[in-house]
Amino acid sequence: MAKTIAIIDDEKNILLVEKALLQSKGYNVIALNSSMSAAEVITERQPDLVLMYIVMPGINGVELAYQLKTTPATKN
C-alpha cells in the first residue's frame, strides 16, 4: 500500500510541481493550498507525512505544526 503525504503550500505552482513529483514516486498525495483547512483534512485523512511551507497567510506552518502535535488525533 502506498504511503500518503500531505503537502501544504500557498503557492499553487509549487504545490502542483511537488504533487506531480511525489506521485511519480508512487505516493498518494493530498495537496492543500491553505493552512486554514489543513488541520481538518489531516485529521480526517491521517497522512503518513505532512510537508508544509512555513510562511503562509492565516495560520503559519509553525502554528499549524504545533496545533497538529497537540491534537490527540494527529499528534503521532
The average pLDDT across 11-37 equals: 95
User: Which pLDDT score is estimated for 63?
Assistant: 92
Mean predicted lDDT score pLDDT of the chain: 92
Position 35 pLDDT exceeds 90? no
User: Which pLDDT score is estimated for 29?
Assistant: 98
Write out pLDDT tens, residues 42-68. 999 999 999 999 988 888 889 999 999
Residue 22's CB: how many other CB atoms inside 10 A? 19
User: Which pLDDT score is estimated for 17?
Assistant: 97
